[in-house]
Amino acid sequence: MDKNSVSTINIIRPDDWHLHVRSGESLKSVVPFTARQCGRAIIMPNLTPPITTTQLARDYQQEVLNATPEPLKGTKKFQPLMTLYLTDNTTKEEIQEAYDSGIVFAVKLYPAGATTNSDAGVTDIKKCYPALEKMQLLGLPLLVHGEVTQSEIDIFDREKLFIDKVLNPLINDFPELKIVFEHITTADAADFVSEGSANIAATITAHHLLMNRNDMLVGGIKPHHYCLPVLKREQHRLALLQAASSDNIKFFMGTDSAPHSQNNKENSCGCAGMFTAFAAIELYAEAFEQAKALDQLEKFSSLNGPQFYGLDINTDTITLKRESWVVPEHYPLDDGYVIPLRAGQTIHWKIEI
Ligand code: DOR
Ligand code: ZN
């Protein structure tokens, strides 16, 4: 049967391997969206202050669980997988404690100044070598925001340069370290991951599969299409779509859904991030359909990620129906609103709950 003309898709429940849920009231607003679609989500640690210790990760996990709607709670339902925020001062003892806790599944590298709440991030990767050595030994993955931060480097080149300046030397020094190149946005990154060893993988967002930089800049600046790494040229979008829908098991779903209030986005200095968790799998389905590769969606959304992390796949399935629906103009966030991707516009797939 031609999967690209079907009106219903049944796939193993997906996981989101890169998600921002913030904290406090904002967290309560956004966690249910992911909990109803995904079995698990890797929860990013870039809060203020950041999640730098296992104890903070434990408290944060509890906060996420408290915001998970009751019927979705528990090990067979939605599980938040916690991460630590790597700093210049993260010790190998902290890494061991995180690993032993059983609740920390990865450590996130933000180059200092690269993106939202990255001020406490890494200033010199060499300072992290004791922690990285321990992670390599334990098999604890390093999740990388892959952009250089030097002010003289053009923002559209920052990911490509990161490969040469940071990733290659890092891999040279830690050949066995499990690395996820997060939210890749360029053909260069896709090629780098495809050609790399089995311990190098990548997440790809739905928005980078669906949009290029024209969607942010043509016909007026669209602050809700601004994220980091920033949208790139069409040729890069096509390369990402090709990688995501290929047979290569190194690419998997990570929405990077990153809610910011409407005020903080529609601002003379707007924040980076798109809110997509409300329709994550539907947006990916649209992208895969466009690539005539709906039959590859399940591998990307539900199989490749667990395989890389050494976890079981989810045991239940979800159903997507070909059904057009109009995205609300906004969703509540804290005491204001978040503007979702495609606000007031149509999405062509719908998950059945
Ligand atoms: O667009 C982004 N938003 N990119 C990031 O790296 C961080 C994220 C956020 O936390 O808002
Ligand atoms: Zn992110």
- Overall pTM > 0.95: yes
Query: 76-90, 111-125, 190-204 — which one is most confidently predicted on average?
Result: 190-204
To test the ligand 1 pocket, which listed residue (21, 46, 275) has its Cβ within 8 A of the most ligand atoms? 46
Ligand in closest contact with the CA of 18 = 2
The answer on pLDDT for 212 being more than 60 is: yes
Protein residues with CB under 6 Å of any ligand 1 atom: 20, 46, 115-116, 145, 227-228, 258, 272-273
> Looking at the predicted structure, is the pLDDT value of residue 3 above 80?
no
pLDDT-based confidence at residue 117 (cuts at 50, 70, 90): confident
Ligand nearest the Cα of residue 17 is 2
Distance 252 CA to ligand 2 centre (A): 14
CATH 3.40.50.800 fits 15-315, yes or no: no
Asked if pLDDT for residue 75 goes beyond 70, the answer is no
pLDDT at 115 over 90: no
- Residue 271 CA: which ligand 1 atom is closest? 11
Q: Domain map of the chain by residue range? A: 15-315
pLDDT greater than 60 at residue 76: no
The percentage of the chain sitting over the pLDDT mark of 70, rounded to a whole number, equals: 98
Best of 256, 267, 333, 339 to mutate for ligand 1, by most ligand atoms within 8 A of CB? 256
CA 64 to chain centre: 17
The predicted-structure confidence for 11-45, as pLDDT tens digits, reads as follows: 999 999 999 999 999 999 999 999 999 999 999 99
Instruction: Provide mean pLDDT across the span 171-176.
Output: 98
Which pLDDT score, from 0 to 100, does residue 178 have?
98
pLDDT beyond 50 at 259: yes
Nearest residue by C-alpha to atom 7 in ligand 1: 116
pLDDT at residue 73 in the model: 66
* d(CA 7, ligand 1 centre) in Å: 34
pLDDT at res. 2: 57
Catalytic residue of the set 59, 191, 256, 312: 256
Mean pLDDT score across all residues of the chain: 96
Q: Which ligand is nearest to the CA of 21?
A: 1
Residue owning the nearest CA to atom 4 of ligand 1: 228
Task: Give per-residue pLDDT as tens, 184-197.
Answer: 999 999 999 999 99
Q: How far is the CA of 229 from the centre of ligand 2 (A)?
A: 9
Q: Indicate which residue's Cα is closest to atom 10 of ligand 1.
A: 116
Distance between Cα 230 and ligand 1 center (Å): 10
Mean pLDDT of 48-69: 97
Examine the pLDDT at 225 and tell me if it is beyond 50: yes
| pLDDT: which is higher, 117 or 344 | 344
Residue 272 has pLDDT above 80, yes or no: yes
**Alpha-carbon distance 182 to 110, whole Å?**
11
In this predicted structure, the answer to whether residue 74 has a pLDDT above a threshold of 70 is no
In this structure, which residues have their CB less than 5 angstroms from ion ligand 2?
256
What is the mean pLDDT of the segment spanning 83-109? 98
Check pLDDT > 50 for residue 1: no
Active site residue 256: yes
